Amino acid sequence: MRVTHTRHTSRVALCFLACLALGFCVEVTHAGDDEIIVHDVSSLRESLSQRHVKRRPSPLTPLSACKGACTYTPPNHALFDKATSTAKAPPLSRCEEKWYTQPLDHFSFATAETYEQRYFICATEFFNPRSPTIFFYTGNEADVTLYVNATGLMWETAGFSDELSAALLFAEHRYYGKSRPKTMDDETKPKIQRLAYLTSEQAMADYAALIRHVTEVDLVQMSAARGDTGASKGFLKVKQIARPFNPSDVAVITFGGSYGGMLSTWMRLKYPHLVAGAIAGSAPVWSFLGEEPAVDPGAFAAGVTYDATAWGGANAACQGNVRGAFRELINIFENGDSFDFKSVTTLLRLCPGSAIKKDEDILTTAYWLQDAFDYLAMGNYPYEDGYILMGDGTLPAFPFRKACSKKLGDATLAKKGRDALIAALADFAGVYYNYSGTLSCFDSLNVNGPNAETKVDTNLWDWQYCTEMFMPSSRDGVRDMFFSQPWNVTEQVKRCNDVWGVTPKLRWADTLFGGRRLKSASNILFSNGALDPWSKLGVMRTTDFNDVLNDKKGMVAIELQNGAHHLDFFWSREHDSDELKQAREVERFWIGKWIKQKRGKKKGGVAVE
């Protein structure tokens, strides 16, 4: 038994990596010993009470059908003027792509293998050797160029003032993007050998080594090349040089969203001598077994449901109608016949290749519909934006609310019967899947399947899930508006053994990183949004049962009532809300304070004038 995500083939920007995060995956047969692929859906006859879907905290990345062209484009004011005032380019154009040779295994002497890690150094005009600072993005499970273009918080903070000036460093996570060890593609070896070194611990060791390399080599060479052993050629006005650039003086502030936010948090915990502070956006660090109080497996699904309520800004009738619609659909799965199958095909406007022919198709389609709710909840941003679609299109402002304002917002919908309820699900899903407005039908069964690159990247996270990122999740149709998808540890352990030949370290993440026991931590700012389903698994005042938050220690939480998944990390916009502007002000305050703390531990030097 395996888990993967059902997709719509004609939707090129469907973001595959979030499927395991969001709890909407379906079970499939497992691959052979030497395959790192995802097979077609099968073996779905067991009862719903035996089914489990897992999720993971991931940003959204495109299908490779985009062929590298579908990249996030920030708002116009973030585009960089190149040679002429009319030539505009994305932030990536202000970066230098570089490579660093990393050991495949940082923690033993069993292998001497290495791999090439990709990273980008950006905005070096903001680097001041007299007050050296780096903003370091701890790369997630995706191509790092996504975050280079999307993480406006880093770019805008680095250029905000002299005190906050910094070069930007974006590191790619091992095994993802172009940072692929050679052994990963060696099909003569079993999967367990090919992916043995894909862990968060190894990735953070990469980042620690990279920090040393960049501060001791790259930035020193850059400063020497531009002839400013103590003065910057950027916007800074430096009148006096008291000492040359010293690598040990560099203040490193880590940034990361979602899984990257978890890594950012853990980098501060594990490498405090290298990291002065961390900004962790939408980081579900409290989502593992072994925590006290115990993790709530249903928190994510309850969070999606919140977005469908009046409290979440949606039409008041939406949540109840969604509940009723899924109830009708699952009833057909359990009791339907061929007539019902034809009816569902018509009501959901499914393409001929995705016509419902058996009960398994009903369940697959139910998960496909559930996908839309999960993605739109994560991407429930207050402005039109293409982040969720990876630049292949644009979703409306507050897309979840927009979808709920259609048929699902009809207070009389339930009285119109089963067919009306089921048809309304397709109406909602169309906001996400038919963002272009050009689709005449939906290919919910994804008969052609994702391509090979998509299969590999999807499974990379499943490996991480089955080894150390073992995050329980469930849905029950009671606290949430979906249907029964219970959490079953035994079945998930068996699945991991069947697929990868490994047994998950059930409580290792809690043991390694401390879970809720973070009273010894310092200088970490956690930001979350009430509209983000991941928020209740992160560090918030309402989830801080052990008094971790403490301003005196720089342990701070920001909560945005109208914030979706790491909203504060994106580029600023003209009509940003006051609470969003204030959140970024608070973030700048703490970043500046951490930089000053780093400076205070060093003697000598002259303050920037």
Give 112-125 pLDDT, tens digit per residue. 999 999 999 999 99
Give the domain ranges of the chain.
Answer: 2-69+311-462, 96-281+516-600
The end-to-end CA distance of the chain, in Å, is: 63
Q: Which of 443, 447, 412 is nearest to 429 (CA)?
A: 443
* DSSP annotation of 294: P
Residue 565 bears catalytic tag: yes
The C-alpha angle with vertex 58 and arms to 527 and 35, in degrees rounded to 5, equals 160
At 86 the pLDDT is 54
For the chain, list residues with pLDDT below 70: 1-70, 81-87, 228-244, 391, 447-458, 601-609
3-state secondary structure of 385: strand
At 247 the pLDDT is 87
Which is catalytic among the residues 30, 173, 565, 566?
565
Strand partners, 122: 95, 168
Rounded Cα gap, residues 228 and 230, in angstroms: 5
Q: With beta carbons less than 8 A apart as the criterion, state whether 257 and 565 touch.
A: yes
On whether the 2-69+311-462 domain is CATH 3.40.50.920, my answer is no
Which is catalytic among the residues 10, 165, 232, 258?
258
Q: Do domains 2-69+311-462 and 96-281+516-600 have the same CATH topology?
A: no
**The CATH number of 96-281+516-600 is which of 3.40.50.1970, 2.160.20.10, 3.40.630.30, 3.40.50.1820?**
3.40.50.1820
Residue 532 bears catalytic tag: yes
Residue ranges of alpha helices (H) inside 82-198 are 145-150, 152-158, 191-194
Q: With beta carbons less than 8 A apart as the criterion, state whether 173 and 264 touch.
A: no
At 507 the pLDDT is 96
At 245 the pLDDT is 72
At 458 the pLDDT is 57
Which is catalytic among the residues 532, 535, 568, 576?
532
Residue 228 bears catalytic tag: no
Q: With beta carbons less than 8 A apart as the criterion, state whether 51 and 476 touch.
A: no
